[in-house]
Structure 1
């Protein structure tokens, strides 16, 4: 069987998924299309039908990771759109679940050096692109408005909420502490206790 006759499904998606694992293992400098091709058991030329260079593949990996994360949060945000409090609780749980169940996404998105996509200014948070943080920010804003938090306190409260769910996700994904029970119940209890402004 010829090496570039790919038979395990979609080659482009496989290149992205294997590329994600490789990127997390070796970093951007040692990352190469040749190595990803080897992981996919295809010829070194096969990936070039989908990506012209390694930068294009890395961009595709980034898009894949952030879009899947954003879609995951959007699904919950839509489901609980009529209740700002329950929505922010469920969104926080979903954030943690997604990162714990997809540690490769967590490492790529937040634990490797990248340019900041959210700018914190005195009176507002500004994201440079439409991303998962926007989903979280919008839901957090709705929650804060629903409990009559002063506008000048929005930024710090949103950062605090984001830090809480992100910290929980990171600690659980990397086993910073061990917990015998259901980690999502633990997360929910922590969020409910701390989101009483």
Structure 2
């Protein structure tokens, strides 16, 4: 019999962390609370003190991932709020840094979900699912306005910028290419070179 020795809040957080790991390894179909309990070395009944079913645990994992990502991005937004160009560059670097340092978050947030997180409608972009994208979009719009980009170019320019940042994050996190220097310097150089609108 496994012993439930965790403090109440510690167990909940560990269930979320181990659940994230399991979800990324096995996907939604093979995900179960019993397997998460085994990873946490607690009885199969212990997780039900926190989550009534696996869907509730998966939702908690999603909230955990995106809340941490959002907090990370908001630190940059606040620090560089008076300089739109530096803010978008630092935001891009933070985006890459967060995903490279937390590849499990990257996989859960973007590589295991088949739904459309960002909707393009009538030349507008918005996301109900990826509220972190909305932070990126708002900062991009401030930058475009500061350098007088035409409004009709906003959508395609935001997609291009997001693709560049997200692509760098994914390739660096999954070692698509090898870079022996400071990868954040590389990211900053690429962003600065490509933000000359």
**Do both proteins adopt the same fold according to a TM-score greater than 0.5, normalized to the shorter chain?**
yes
Q: Which residue of 1 aligns with 2:37?
A: 37
Q: Which residue of 2 aligns with 1:97?
A: 97
Distance across 1 between alignment mates of 2:6 and 2:92: 39
What is the Cα deviation at residue 116 of structure 1?
1.6
What TM-score comes out, normalization by structure 2 length? 0.96
CA RMSD of aligned residues (A): 1.5
Q: Does 1:15 align with 2:12?
A: no
Q: Which residue of 1 aligns with 2:5?
A: 5
What is the Cα deviation at residue 2 of structure 1?
5.9
Distance of aligned partners of 1:18 and 1:52 in 2 relative to their CA distance in 1, 3 Å threshold: same
What is the Cα deviation at residue 194 of structure 1?
0.2
What TM-score comes out, normalization by structure 1 length? 0.96
Q: Which residue of 1 aligns with 2:172?
A: 172
Return 5+ residue gaps in structure 1 as ranges.
none
Distance across 2 between alignment mates of 1:34 and 1:14: 14
Q: Which residue of 2 aligns with 1:27?
A: 27
Q: Which residue of 1 aligns with 2:67?
A: 67
Instruction: Judge conservation of contact 1:84–1:142 (CA < 8 Å) in 2.
Output: yes
Distance across 1 between alignment mates of 2:63 and 2:8: 22
The count of residues paired between Structure 1 and Structure 2 equals: 197
What is the Cα deviation at residue 123 of structure 1?
1.6
Q: Which residue of 2 aligns with 1:150?
A: 150
SS in 1 for 2:119: strand
What is the Cα deviation at residue 160 of structure 1?
0.5
Q: Does 1:78 align with 2:81?
A: no
